[in-house]
Chain A
């Protein structure tokens, strides 16, 4: 199935320390049907091993809302990798 943007890609945004560790702030990943956030994380750490040590500290968002690792991701979704927040 194709996403609204006509590709099979998920847009991945990285912030703060996660962007540093990956050396990227924005990228696209292809996802297979039925893929979860956990699958996407595995793919991401395969490409950017520097992210692996941060794993336990990170939160994730799908389409701008917090989501767990079991959350399904589909082409056209926006996934964000969120280090511990430190506003204020």
Chain B
């Protein structure tokens, strides 16, 4: 199951949906939004945007890559877009496999690939402006200096 959704992720349901009788291991990776602060400014929330449906297709491609490399029986990736408050899940990855080694390795692979190939972007909205993560372009005093 691969999805891009607006609104809070119902983590428990995403995980328990991957339980299967032929699997003895379910590995979960949850990415949560992190508070960052510098002298005099702090992150207030994050905002994600996606290029759809390319981003949806790339998530499914990662699932196929995993199936080619490991013996896994279920891969779920759900990514949240829109405004996400601090400390909230932005992505949930669940891999069910007969054995734990494959489940651990495949879930790590999934998050690394998401950060390489899936067209999703996040913007940190700070108390003094915003910055696009990865591009370092934005309206914060430090980001403006780079333009």
Contact = CB atoms under 8 A, between A and B. Distances in A.
Interface of A: 13, 15-18, 20-21, 50, 53-54, 57, 61, 64-66, 80, 82-88
**Residue among A15, A16, A20 facing the most chain B CB atoms (10 A cut-off):** A16
Interface of B: 31, 48-51, 53-55, 57, 79, 90-91, 111, 114-123, 132-135, 137-138, 147
B132 A86 contact: yes
Contacts, number: 82
A84 B51 contact: no
B51 A87 contact: no
Nearest to A65: B54
Contacts of B57: 64
A87 B147 CA distance: 23
B137 A87 contact: no
